[in-house]
Copies of this chain bind each other. A is one copy, B any other.
Amino acid sequence: MPSPTERIDTAAGFARPRLEASHVRRLGIDTGHEHVVYLDRNSPICRSEGFGPHSRLSVRVGEREILAALNLVQPGWLAEDEVGLSESAWLSLHPQAGERVILAHPPSVDSLAHVRAKIFGKQLDAGALRAIVGDIVAHRYSSIEMAAFITAASGNRLVLDEVVALTHAMVQTGAQLNWQRPCVMDKHCIGGLAGNRTTPIVVAIAAEMGLTMPKTSSRAITSPAGTADTMAMLAPVELDEMQLRHVVETCGGCIAWGGAMNLAPADDLLIRIERALDIDSVGQMVASVLSKKIAAGATHVVIDIPVGPTAKVRDLLEAQALADLIKRVAAVFGLRVRVLISDGTQPVGRGIGPALEAHDVLAVLRNETHAPQDLRAHALHVAAAVLELGGAASAETSHVVASDCLASGRAWCRFQAICKAQGGLRVPGRAAFRQSVPAPCDGRVTAIDNRRLSRAAKLAGAPASPLAGLTLDVHLDETVATGQPLFTLHAQTPGELAYAMEYVSRHAHIIEVEVTA
């Protein structure tokens, strides 16, 4: 991924007042994604520039510039003219011996006026959205400013023109792939449903049937695992553009992490905040999805919308409105889409969490007898739509063609070839700490709460702890006996297991069992 420093426009930046420090020190403090710069609290730089703790300031070394929060340290740690850098700041600026560090007030961010206008219900034009997205990609927005933009754009507050303009802005602020082919396939699932890891299976089938499917996926936004998180359990996914092209030329398809490609990078920055807030905005979701597809060079896209009371899309009306918005925005960009509205009343597959979902994918591809049949069926449904949209099969034959490709083992062979080209197939382990949640009574499973299952899997550590999550032991309408496991939590540490169990014990109805009369 290009470092943030490369994308900051410094052309007009240094007419601003500034001060230089001749000494810079790597302090070895890991502050996560947030850049922090440290100065002595009696530093003349603070006095003359009016900097205080948590001021945001611009830090420049040579041509590289970042925005960082300021922390002040007690005398004795740093010389008065010395600047300390956090790990992320150091890695972005990588100062060389003898290079001077220039500190300045950050440029004022004029596009925030547009965010304020949006908060007050104004419609934003293309210029305003381009300015906002440009400033986000240039790392000029603080976390709370991004949170305000995301919130202001949530809850159906973007009209069609705004979604189109946002999509365009997100495409234009990143790299774009061009495959020089008339038909480049892609797929996307509007999440909210735990498990449901069809992509690796669909890509294997599409590629095996002669289509080009250079699939780039994201990490989880609000779910316990994204496709990239799951695929990373099976093969390397952080490919650069040359590696990705090689895999696609060799195998017809790939399953890579899109973030390594700088496609629509605004999305990757917004994702961190959306994940922390646990919200998605419909307009922003459509812009994110389509901008990634357009930037990745796709021409034909199948979009799966699972519908259920605890899925991201709750009912058919909402799904149709979303499908309509997707089609209208896609049409503006000449992108051909096929929308599938599917059953989202329960998770698809058994595992929830990166490694646990990877085990499900392997079982389906290998045609193992215990493979989750719901995942198999749904993957075939999506694959058939891809084959048909891409012209590799007719509407009549697409399902049987996909099915045969999987059952014959050809899809599995193709998947192994793809993994090998990406750097080698690997099989994930199992988490050391597990605990089952038993049925409270004899009865029938009447409801499964996707959101709370996802929350429990996340509290158990997914996706950061990749072996963590949970496995479903029952499905809707199954009959269970008292004490029979409903689901099993998996964790890599006892602390995380206890934390997830504490949540589960407070929410008895994650899986509802109704006493049979």
Contact = CB atoms under 8 A, between A and B. Distances in A.
Interface string A489-510: 0001111101100110000000
Contacts of A279: 116, 119, 148
B120 A155 contact: yes
Nearest to A50: B496
Contacts of A459: 108
Interface stretch (A66-74, A178-186, A322-330): A66-74
Given A119-B151, A144-B143, A50 B492 contact: yes
Interface stretch (A15-23, A392-400, A411-419): A15-23
Interface string A141-176: 011111110111011100000000000000000000
Task: Identify which of A33, A38, A145, A146 gathers the most chain B CB atoms within 10 Å of its CB.
Answer: A145
Which of under 10, 10 to 19, 20 to 34, or 35 or more describes the interface residues of A? 35 or more
Nearest to A151: B151
Contacts of A27: 73-74
Given A17-B498, A53-B31, A143-B143, A48 B151 contact: no
A503 B151 CA distance: 29
A31 B71 contact: yes
A30 B72 contact: yes
A103 to B, nearest CB: 10
A326 to B, nearest CB: 19
Contacts of A77: 28
A493 B276 contact: no
A278 interface: yes
A104 to B, nearest CB: 9
A277 interface: yes
Nearest to A105: B499
A245 interface: no
Interface in A53-112: 53-54, 71-74, 77, 86, 105, 108, 112
A370 interface: no
Between A30, A105, A108, A154, the greatest number of chain B beta carbons within 10 A of the residue's beta carbon is seen for: A30
Contact of A112 (B148, B156, B278): B278
B147 A494 contact: no
Given A493-B47, A495-B48, A74 B31 contact: no
Interface in A311-360: none
A464 interface: yes
A52 interface: yes
A18 to B, nearest CB: 8
A255 to B, nearest CB: 26
Given A17-B502, A119-B151, A29 B73 contact: yes
Given A49-B496, A143-B143, 6 more contacts: A29-B38, A108-B459, A116-B279, A144-B146, A145-B276, A148-B279
5 contacts: A49-B495, A116-B277, A120-B155, A121-B156, A143-B147
Interface of A: 15-17, 19, 27-34, 38, 41, 47-50, 52-54, 71-74, 77, 86, 105, 108, 112, 116, 119-121, 142-148, 150-152, 154-156, 273, 276-279, 459, 461, 464-465, 492-496, 498-499, 502-503
Task: Give the top 8 A-B pairs by smallest Cβ distance, nearest first.
Answer: A28-B74, A32-B54, A151-B151, A32-B53, A144-B147, A147-B147, A49-B495, A17-B498
